[in-house]
Structures are given as C-alpha cells and as structure tokens.
Amino acid sequence: MNETPHTLGSARTLWELVARRAALTPDRPVFLQAGRSLTFGELHARAERVAAGLYGMGVRAGTVVAWQLPTRIETALLSFALARLGAVQSPVIPFYRDREVGFALRESKAEFFAVPGVWRGHDHTGMAHRLGAKGVFEAYDALPDGDPSVLPPPPAEGTSVRWIYWTSGTTSDPKGVLHTDRSLIAGGSCLAHALRLSPDDVGSMAFPYAHIAGPDYTVMLLLYGFPAVMFEHFALPDALAEYRRHGVTVAGGSTAFYSMFLAEQRKRPAGKVIPSLRLLAGGGAPKPPELYHSVVREMGVQLTHGYGMTEVPMITMGDPQDSPENLATTEGRPPEGMEIRIVHGEVRLRGEAVCQGYLDAAQTAAAFDPDGFLRTGDLGHLTDSGHLVLTGRLKDVIIRKGENISAKEIEDLLATHPAVADTAVVGLPDAERGELVCAVLEQRPETALLTLPEIVSFLRGKGLSVHKLPERVEVVDALPRNDTLRKVLKYKLRERFSAPAPRRTP
C-alpha cells in the first residue's frame, strides 16, 4: 500500500500509527532535544523495550498508569510504551501540586505513578509518597527495560478509553476527560492536514507533553514524517538558539506564544528572529485580529489559529492559504467529520475527535445534549463560508444593566492600542449595574501609564457602543496565566479586583 498522511490517519490505534510510520521512514528523526535525537524507527523499537519493562512491573492492558513528567524524549517513549500495552494513561501537568495531583490519582484510581524525581526544585517523588500514590517509579532519564518477546499482541482496536486528561481546575476540582486512541488521532489529523505541512518541515514543542496538545502534535509528526524540537523548559530569548540551530519552520502553541515571539522580533527589527520560520500556529485562547496582522507584517511569517479544548483536541484550524480576513477574524473551518451546531449562540460539537465524556457520569450527562452534541460553553457563529467565529464564553459575558456585553469584542479593540501589550476584560460585581466592565492591561515597555479616560476615549474612537465602555481600568505587570498554553486566568482577576477600586486623581 502506498502510504500517505491521509491513509496513515486511518490507523486504528496510536501504536499502529507508530509502527506504520517506523516502517516507512525508520531513519528520519521524530524528536530533537538538547543535542539528542530519536528516529521513528528508534521510537518504535525503544518503546517496545520500555513496554516490556513495564509489563515486567505488572502493567497490563487496562492498567491505569498516571505520569507527571516534563517534555522530554523519555516521556514520549514511556507514553508510547503504555500505548503499546493498551494501558490507560493519565497524564498530569508537571507544574501541578498536591491538590490537583492528589485529586487525579484518587479519581483515576491509578495503580502506577511515574514521576521525574526532583525536577526544577520540586521533589515529585516525595510528593507522590506523601499523597499515598501506588506503584511510584522515576522516569526522567532512565526507563524500565525488558525483552519485547514477552509482550502480548498490541491492542487491535482504538475505541476503548485509554486516556484520562485533566481540565485545568482553576475554579473547582479538575474534570477527568476520557479519550480513545481514535479521538486523539482524529484531532491530530485535523491539525496536520489543515496546516499543509511536508516532510521537510521542522516543528517545535514548547508546551507540556502532558497537555492534550502532546498527542495532538505527535500525531502530526507521525502522519507527515517530520521532527519537532522538544523544550523541557521554554523561555525566550534563551530558546531561540535551538530554533535557529534546527531550522524550525513551524512554531507556536497559543496566543501568548505568538506575542512572545513578536516581542523578540521587535528587539531585532532588521532581520527575522528565526530565519527558517515560515508559520506560527496554535490555539487554546482567543486571538485578537491585530495580533495576526502584526505577526504577518513584522515577522514576515504566516499565522494560522485554531480552536480546541481538552474535550476535543482540535475542532477547527486556519488554512495558511486562506484569506487574511478569515485568518485574522475566524478560528478556521472544521475538518470532515466534525459537526458544529450553534444553539442559542453556544457552539456544540459532534464527531470522532470528541471525548467519550468524563470520569464523573453526572458531568457527562450534563455535558451532552439529547442529540449527542458536546456543549462547549463557547459562544460563536458560522460564516457563509463555514468558518467559525468565536465571540466569547457563556461565563465571559458581562451583564450590565440587563445588557449582554462581549469581553472579547472589547479585548480585540484594546489590542490595537499602541501602548497595550495584552489585555483581559472582566465583569466585576456592582450593586447598581449588576456588573461593571473592568479592563486589565499589560503595557508595552516605555509607554506612559494608561488611564481610564484615555482608554474610554480610544474605544469611543473605535466606535464601541457607550454601554460597553469600561468603567474601570487596572494596569498590571503581568496577567495571571496557567502553566500549559499560557491562558489568562480571569477568575484570579475577578478575585483581585472585586474589592472597591481606590479613588484615582483625574
């Protein structure tokens, strides 16, 4: 059979996908990290040996194995070894601590827990024992090893739940999201095909491998047969040397990553900060249209943004060959097989990439409508061309004197202000109006302090309706963000600024 990325995407399981890619291009690299590399053939062979070592420890098909590991070649090997066995994996973001980790271990009923030992000053092994975790073992630079001849056949179907991912849990306990191999392959295929990649590309993983984006991105590498540079700890400008050394052509992660790369470019306006780069791509958070235009204009690369979540790793994705208008103002189009329905303004989804539900059956029942569509909690609409436009979150609508106000509409306008580096607009409790509009701003360096009158005047000049104008402006050194795709944590802003504002001198 003449394999193509599209035929490879028909693989029933992730392990079948690895085996088929290894047979096609065994000597091509898949992961590059700190002077090391791993080929597709080595990924297959070494993961089988790790699987044999795990098998000797008692891991079987269906065994729940949690792992809290950084973005490393060894982490990918362990994950694919577990896929080879048909175990149920519960990846945990390495920055999580006792509350989130303890919750994930209890709810998943994990029988084994892989940790990195002491990593970035935190004793993960000690935390695991403190939490009473079962089967604790370290898997940072040394992995279990064994003879693959002892292994049973790999799983033959990919529709069983073999993955438990955890939502961020920013305002309550995390939710355990249930995925299958096929749902992860479907999500990664959407990303891969939309970006129009080739075997000559070089990607990058600047986000936690334990995030849902980990398999999403790895499926893309397996489908198209190109490598990615892994970053155990990502920070700019330090990481730029690795991007240049390996000739990275595709980078990104989320809106925050675009902004970070753009900030580095502005330090060196005379030439491209990453000469080989041709595309920034990602998702995970809203993208102001002005950011798209700034990246294209100043960095000289294309930017395609998509829409995904832990429950559905890839829903829509921008096409590099689409119009600037669509790339700037939409989240792209869904792939074949992803159904999008808009109900009372809410985006609902049905398709192979959609999760099977949650560990909590009551949460599953509440998440799906009678027709089997997942309620996302996101607001949006479809254009005549089938592009999805997101307008905010159900929980992110500010209700002022009975009028609904979209925080995203105001944020997109504020992003065009020359002194604004980033912004988040939130509703704060107000006895008279129900909620008031508060704009929280990060400023660009060496700009004059922004004031409420100036912001109101600017937004009036942009044509924003009077009832949507902010009644409060707060300037912060940095917006609070999570440790995965750097999403802004608006609940922390609401907590911080819900107290009455101090009086300001006009």
Confidence at 181, pLDDT banded by 50, 70, 90: very high
152-157 contacts at long range (C-beta below 8 A, 24 or more positions apart): 152/61, 154/13, 154/15, 154/16, 154/19, 154/84, 154/85, 154/86, 155/13, 155/15, 155/61, 155/86, 155/181, 156/12, 156/13, 157/12, 157/13
Asked whether residue 169 carries a pLDDT value surpassing 70, the answer given is no
Query: Coil, strand, or helix at residue 442?
Result: strand
Asked whether residue 104 carries a pLDDT value surpassing 90, the answer given is yes
Give the mean pLDDT of 363-377. Answer: 96
Rounded to whole angstroms, the Cα distance separating 353 from 189 reads 10
> What pLDDT is attached to residue 499?
63
Name the fold adopted by 5-30+38-182. Rossmann fold (3.40.50)
Asked whether residue 371 carries a pLDDT value surpassing 90, the answer given is yes
Give the mean pLDDT of 377-382. Answer: 92
Give the mean pLDDT of 103-118. Answer: 97
- For 295-336, the pLDDT digits (tens) are 999 999 999 999 999 999 999 999 999 999 999 999 999 998
Query: Coil, strand, or helix at residue 380?
Result: strand
> What pLDDT is attached to residue 505?
44
Cβ neighbors of 252 (< 8 A, separation 6 or more) are 258, 261, 279, 280, 281, 282, 303
Rounded to whole angstroms, the Cα distance separating 102 from 106 reads 6
Average pLDDT score over the chain: 92
Architecture of domain 401-497: 2-Layer Sandwich (3.30)
Q: Could you tell me the two tokens for 38? A: 């791993």
Strand-strand pairing, 88-91 and 64-67: parallel
Q: Number of H helices and number of E strands within the chain?
A: 16, 26
Torsion of CA 201, 235, 119, 220, to 10 degrees: -20
Query: Coil, strand, or helix at residue 186?
Result: helix
Confidence at 124, pLDDT banded by 50, 70, 90: very high
Would you say how long the chain is, in residues? 506
* Strand-pair partners of 304: 281
Are 105 and 113 a contacting pair, CB within 8 Å?
Answer: yes
Tokens 């095909």, residue located: 193
Give the mean pLDDT of 53-80. Answer: 98
Asked whether residue 501 carries a pLDDT value surpassing 70, the answer given is no
The domain ranges of the chain are: 5-30+38-182, 401-497
- For 457-469, the pLDDT digits (tens) are 999 999 888 889 9
CA distance to 265, 329, 428, 497, 500, per residue, from 503 (Å): 38, 37, 16, 13, 9
